[in-house]
Structure 1
Amino acid sequence: MDSLGPLNAFVQAAQTRSFTVAGRQLGVSSSAIGKAVARLEERLGVRLFHRSTRTITLTPEGALFLERCRRIFAEIEAAELELSQTQGAPRGKLRVSMPLAGMLMMPALSAFMRAYPEIELDLDFSDRLVDVIEEGFDAVVRAGEIRDSRLMARALGTFRLKLVGAPDYLARRGIPRRPEDLRSHACLHHRYATSGKLEPWPLRRGRKQLEIDLPTTAVVNTIEPLIHMAEQGLGIACLPDFAVRRQLDDGALVTVLDGHTHHAGLFRLLWPSSRYVSPKLRAFADFMAQNLFPA
């Protein structure tokens, strides 16, 4: 058991690629992490890290040792969680990073809070690329591809981008029949918060993707203002279907060019692969997968 401390220091340093970050997560100094790793290397008789003035990287022996250590800690955590599950409902703080569009997921999040009152949600709404492990999140909800091999994933639901406008706007300006007709319309755009680029509209003719120079009547970096502008009859916006489901149902907005828009997106829940899925995280994943995008 006396070896678990140095092993934990090694695992944290290996996962974060930093003695400083590992020390911050464990509540000790970076030098303490370095000394613990050095003692471990001396005891094992192998070098676990290549060190430079700025970074540390695993040696081949270190990479093999990391996988075995992860399994050891996963078994310990599994044993602890197996016992904790006998103590009642999932509980404790759950820190989750949500996209800015997550504000539109509040009905599902509110329902989760009512269903699991002993779980304390700590939500961070941002479209920036967060480091789940380094920043101490239990999980993140994001759309797009997974590029971090350290993370596990679960699909929460699919969505589609739709072109929408208010009936009174379309009565005034006419309904676009071809993608090219959008050049004479007021177009309301979303700008990615991370890159600053405009989100492209998924316009197609058959299997051919179209690149049309659209007017930029307004550009916004969050979705809610675009919904409001579209409802007010200020133009046509390209929005995810889950964000405007109510407006489409009550007729405040209608879709246009459905035959020329082809898009499918996927929201996923991501969490560190080395971490056993706790009851609170499992409850969150199961609930959101069932309730985020109800049929």
Structure 2
Amino acid sequence: MSATPSRYCHLIDEGEVFLERCRRILGEIQAAEDDLSAMTTSPRGRLRVGLAFAAGLPLPVISAFMERYPEIQLDLDFTDRMVDVIDEGFDVVIRGSELKDSRLMSRPLGPYRSCLVASPVYLQNRGIPAKPADLLTHSCLHYRWQNSGKLYQWPFKKQQAIQAGESLPVTMVCSNVEALIYLAQAGRGIACVPDFAVKDSLADGRLDKVLTNSLIGGSTFHVVWPSSRQMAPKVRAFVDFAVENFSKGLVS
């Protein structure tokens, strides 16, 4: 009789272990069913997307996505500021760099680089700069970040950077890439812009590149969304579509 309580407790312990394992198995089964449901459910509903306008780069992708998925209602927020994907309620965001946040998942969309451009007429009148220091005598058109108000720093290689204590002339400042490109094409100065934004202007001769070997490497566009066990069909549809099509607008 004295052994009964010990044996009883031993069985209780084994039962608890067995029950916990059963719970884990049932949880995995439920997760698998949820994933299958997510993959088979037709994408539909409101999808809030945050993205930089980026000289119109996302628009052909957005248009094609709307044609492919007419039951998804897009809510687009164009901004260059660094949004909080989760706290601001975004389903998915496209950005020109990877957002380092453990709460987020991301996939790369394609690379891009900055380039210095000016119109042929401007370069004929003012001369072609041979090194970054030559820009000190040129008209420079600058981009201002909307979120910080700071000027975008032209990404010169360290060994070719302008000497400390000297800064580029500030002929004009704006927070819109299209305005920079327009004014550069109009001969108002040299601008530093993403290569994909001026590929047509370079191809048809409205702009020329300068100091092509003086800038450091570029960055990569990413599509970002909140991490969760189950990925909503509308989010999966947008992410897969962006990965497949976004790079078509970039410079190969």
> How far, CA to CA, are the matches of 2:137 and 2:178 in structure 1?
24
Q: Determine if the alignment matches structure 1 residue 236 to structure 2 residue 190.
A: yes
Confirm or deny: 8 A CA contact 1:156 1:268 kept in the other structure: yes
Quote the offset at 1:190 in angstroms: 0.4
> How far, CA to CA, are the matches of 2:94 and 2:108 in structure 1?
10
Structure 1 residues 152-184: Cα deviation after superposition (integer angstroms, max 9, x where no partner): 111111110000111111111111111111111
Question: Which of 198, 215, 220 lines up with 1:261 in the alignment?
Answer: 215
> How far, CA to CA, are the matches of 2:243 and 2:73 in structure 1?
19
> How far, CA to CA, are the matches of 1:262 and 1:185 in structure 2?
21
Quote the offset at 1:269 in angstroms: 1.3
The 1:154–1:234 alpha-carbon spacing in structure 2 relative to 1, beyond 3 Å, is: same
Question: Which of 115, 118, 127 lines up with 1:174 in the alignment?
Answer: 127
> How far, CA to CA, are the matches of 1:75 and 1:143 in structure 2?
38
2:215 maps to a residue whose letter is: T
Quote the offset at 1:129 in angstroms: 2.6
Confirm or deny: 8 A CA contact 2:92 2:225 kept in the other structure: yes
Question: Which of 114, 118, 140 lines up with 1:161 in the alignment?
Answer: 114
Aligned twin of 1:208: 159
Q: Determine if the alignment matches structure 1 residue 116 to structure 2 residue 116.
A: no
Aligned twin of 1:273: 227
The 1:162–1:285 alpha-carbon spacing in structure 2 relative to 1, beyond 3 Å, is: same
> How far, CA to CA, are the matches of 2:41 and 2:98 in structure 1?
37
> How far, CA to CA, are the matches of 2:238 and 2:61 in structure 1?
10
SS at match of 2:188: coil
The 1:176–1:273 alpha-carbon spacing in structure 2 relative to 1, beyond 3 Å, is: same
> How far, CA to CA, are the matches of 1:78 and 1:278 in structure 2?
14
Quote the offset at 1:83 in angstroms: 2.9
Confirm or deny: 8 A CA contact 1:102 1:125 kept in the other structure: no
TM-score normalized by the length of structure 2: 0.79
> How far, CA to CA, are the matches of 1:145 and 1:116 in structure 2?
26
Aligned twin of 2:145: 192
Confirm or deny: 8 A CA contact 1:139 1:270 kept in the other structure: yes
User: What are the equivalent positions in structure 2 for 1:1-295 lying under 5 Å apart?
Assistant: 79-80=33-34, 82-83=36-37, 85-88=39-42, 90-101=43-54, 103-204=56-157, 208=159, 210-211=161-162, 213-274=167-228, 276-294=230-248, 295=252
Confirm or deny: 8 A CA contact 1:202 1:209 kept in the other structure: no
Following TM superposition, the consecutive aligned residue runs of length 4 or more in structure 1 with deviations greater than 6 angstroms are: none
Q: Which runs of 5+ in 1 are unaligned?
A: 1-71
Matched pairs, number: 222
The 1:263–1:84 alpha-carbon spacing in structure 2 relative to 1, beyond 3 Å, is: closer
Quote the offset at 1:245 in angstroms: 1.5
2:192 maps to a residue whose letter is: C
Quote the offset at 1:137 in angstroms: 1.1
Confirm or deny: 8 A CA contact 2:98 2:221 kept in the other structure: no
The 1:78–1:201 alpha-carbon spacing in structure 2 relative to 1, beyond 3 Å, is: farther
Identity %: 49
SS at match of 1:97: strand
Confirm or deny: 8 A CA contact 2:223 2:242 kept in the other structure: no
The 1:194–1:87 alpha-carbon spacing in structure 2 relative to 1, beyond 3 Å, is: closer
Confirm or deny: 8 A CA contact 2:139 2:170 kept in the other structure: yes
> How far, CA to CA, are the matches of 2:140 and 2:40 in structure 1?
55
TM-score normalized by the length of structure 1: 0.68
> How far, CA to CA, are the matches of 1:152 and 1:248 in structure 2?
35
* Higher RCO (CA 8 Å, separation ≥ 6 residues): 2
